[in-house]
């Protein structure tokens, strides 16, 4: 059985704390959309974590690695749904968990592109008995953490895209060009609307992960016929021209005006008199 082994720096206090956090949370919670912790080692300054092996690697590699095969629209939605299922489970468990580092590099994919959340080094138990206070330390990754969760509140990966999310024409400009417009427009617009809701300045106005999951599943069910790929259209156009050329070859100087030839046989269809 193939496994993945993660080694922490034994001389780093942060490394030890994150190692302990991983053991604490992944040893306690089990869900199809959380990576499985198979074992751990804490011996002679060896801090090791053994996980199930995820054949397709991280979502980050598929989206941003140079030369990576682009993921189709439906696969991207399936991955989003899987990640949302993992987060919804954490948020609604008996002792809610705040993941705190949700990003593409921490979403791992198995051989069938099922998404699983990994790296619980920054995870923390949620508020208890209605207490909304969580932490005074800034954790997570700039550009991914909620704006009010970062000291300045100004680090947000999609600030540049927000003006385009509610405009159909502008939305096309920020869609991944590698999709080649192979996605239902209605689904893309509903996804943009969901993103806008998740980026509300007031946390109380943002949807819960259960609501996000529900919205993603509805979007996934949309099966509008996507536009044909521009590359595909170009190839089809070339093929049609080739077929026409082969069916109707260029006229030879030997052919008469009406299509007859000196040896009989016609290069063009001729109507009967």
Catalytic residues: 101
**Separation CA 167–CA 140 (nearest Å):** 30
CA distance 180 to 231: 8
Positive or negative, the CA dihedral 15, 21, 27, 30 is: negative
- H-only helix segments in 27-167: 59-64, 73-92, 162-165
Q: Helix, strand, or coil here: 202?
A: coil
Tokens 């011996």 belong to which residue?
A: 43
The runs of H, that is alpha helices, within 93-165 are 162-165
Length of the chain: 273
Q: Which helix or strand (DSSP H or E) is residue 136 part of?
A: none
Q: Give the integer Cα–Cα distance in Å for 122 and 269.
A: 76
Give Rg (Cα) of the chain: 28
Q: What is residue 241's three-state secondary structure?
A: helix
Between CA 206 and CA 210, with CA 208 as vertex, the angle to 5 degrees is 145
Strand runs labelled E in 53-93:
57-58
Q: Which residue has the tokens 């550009």?
A: 143
């Amino acid at each position: 059985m193939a496994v993945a082994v993660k080694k922490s720096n034994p001389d780093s206090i942060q490394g030890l704390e994150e190692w302990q956090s991983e053991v604490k949370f992944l040893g306690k919670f089990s869900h199809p959309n959380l990576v499985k912790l198979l074992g751990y080692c804490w011996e002679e300054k060896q801090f090791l974590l053994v996980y199930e092996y995820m054949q397709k690697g991280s979502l980050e590699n598929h989206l941003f690695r140079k030369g990576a095969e682009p993921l189709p629209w439906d696969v991207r939605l399936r991955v989003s749904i899987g990640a949302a299922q993992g987060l919804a489970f954490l948020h609604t468990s008996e002792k809610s968990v705040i993941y705190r580092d949700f990003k593409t590099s921490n979403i791992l994919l198995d051989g069938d592109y099922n998404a699983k959340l990994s790296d619980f080094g920054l995870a923390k138990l949620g508020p208890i008995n209605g207490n909304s206070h969580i932490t005074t330390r800034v954790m997570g990754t700039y550009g991914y953490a909620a704006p009010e969760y970062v000291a300045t509140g100004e680090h947000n990966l999609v600030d540049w895209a927000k003006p385009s999310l509610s405009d159909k024409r502008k939305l096309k400009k920020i869609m991944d060009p590698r999709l080649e417009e192979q996605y239902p427009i209605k689904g893309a617009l509903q996804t943009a609307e969901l993103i806008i809701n998740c980026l509300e300045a007031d946390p109380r106005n943002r949807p819960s992960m259960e609501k996000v999951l529900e919205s993603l599943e509805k979007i996934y069910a949309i099966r509008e016929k996507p536009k044909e790929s521009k590359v595909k259209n170009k190839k089809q156009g070339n093929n049609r021209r080739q077929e026409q050329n082969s069916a109707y070859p260029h006229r030879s100087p030997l052919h008469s005006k009406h299509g007859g030839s000196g040896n009989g046989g016609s290069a063009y269809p001729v109507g009967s008199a």
